[in-house]
Amino acid sequence: MIYLLILLAFLISVLMSMVIIPRILVVALKKRLFDMPDSRKIHEGAIPRLGGLCFAPAILFSVSFVSALYCTGYLYGYQIPQWLFTHILSEFYLLACGVILLYLAGLKDDLVGMRYTTKFMIQIVAALLLPLSGLWINNLYGLFGVYELAPWIGIPLTILVIVFITNAINLIDGIDGLASGLSGSALLVLGSLFLINGMWIYAMLSFATLGVLIPFFYYNVFGQVKQGRKIFMGDTGSLTLGYILVFLAVRYASYNPDIAHYSAGAIVVAFSTLIVPMFDVVRVMVVRARNHKPLFKPDRNHIHHKFLDMGMTPHRAMISIVIIACLFSSLNILLVSFVNINIVFAGDILIWVGLSIWFERIGCKKESLKGKEFVKRF
């Protein structure tokens, strides 16, 4: 029964996304609401960037509708778990509040622009909502030798993590299909983990969010600009996705015996699904600081730019990065049961640093060869 309800939520999200996106395209084309190319952007032609407009409505509708169907079962004698009303209700209500805040902020930014400081403050407010429901990182499971966390440490850490990952998903949205591909793979893994642990309501949210991404991915990656069928998610979509993803990761990483059993290494498993966007942002910030450049000024130093500098096409770069993310997640999930999580985490960092150095060298060689060819021509 639960599996059918999750499937229903998934299908409703897919259907709503399929219906809404073409209509967004029509409105965007009529009103000329485009994302124009510039020196940092690799796309050609004017492309609508309001694809994320359908994310929050479709996700909230599908999860709310299917959850309500389940809860009406008590009218027919079905027993509803008590934890659904004590813990889950406040979490999902405040999650919806945070999603709506970021959805509106992203929409304003996509339409008329928004100062970064204003957007940052809205993200902090949205981040504060989750600890209000009692959801915060309360256990590190032995990472850095730390287990249980006091609220005065865990709550600020949770707020920092929420703002950080929400922005990481926003910043990784640089080539077609990358943000949706990375988010989709993370949602698939997290949804499966929640199902295995019997946390079906979170699995439903994961698969409902995955469902809304599938039609968008098609339009974003395979849509043709000349036919008016291509669309970007914009900040409306990336902020919504980032917030839901970090909610799911924090939920899996937080220990609550009333909801799920203790899972060794849950903190590493949960956030391994988001390693690529997290590590990429850290790497970019370190490089900017080392080069004495403004930390928040956009540049062409993200991982997808490195892959493009290596001579890859945008589609090939996207697929390669998503595969790397899946490998990181799979290895962490497999190793965490046999290897100390500090070693696993250290291994993640070493592998990422090694890959970054390798990508940098290959990119530099490509640039050097291009320069030599240019000199020979003249």
Q: How far apart are CA 310 and CA 306, in angstroms?
A: 6
- The helix or strand, by DSSP H or E, that contains position 287, with its residue range, turns out to be helix 275-290
Q: Which residues contact 316 (CB under 8 A, 6 or more apart)?
A: 307
Q: What is the pTM of this model?
A: 0.91
For residue range 187-225, list pLDDT tens digits in order.
Answer: 999 999 999 988 889 999 999 999 999 999 999 999 887
For residue range 326-367, list pLDDT tens digits in order.
Answer: 999 999 999 998 899 999 999 999 999 998 888 777 766 665
Q: How far apart are CA 280 and CA 171, in angstroms?
A: 9
What share of the chain has pLDDT > 90, as a percent? 59
What share of the chain has pLDDT > 70, as a percent? 88
CA 66 vs. chain centroid, Å, equals: 23
> Judging by DSSP bridges, how do beta strands 47-48 and 34-35 pair with one another?
antiparallel
Three-state SS at 35 = strand
Task: Please report, for residues 232, 238, 263, 339, the alpha-carbon distance to residue 33 in angstroms, rounded to integers and kept in the order given.
Answer: 11, 17, 47, 51
For position 378, what pLDDT does the model report?
A: 47
Q: Which two tokens stand for residue 198?
A: 């019997």
For residue range 71-90, list pLDDT tens digits in order.
Answer: 776 556 566 666 565 667 88
Q: Which two tokens stand for residue 348?
A: 């993640």
- The helix or strand, by DSSP H or E, that contains position 96, with its residue range, turns out to be helix 89-111
Q: What are phi and psi of 301, to 5 degrees?
A: -125, 10
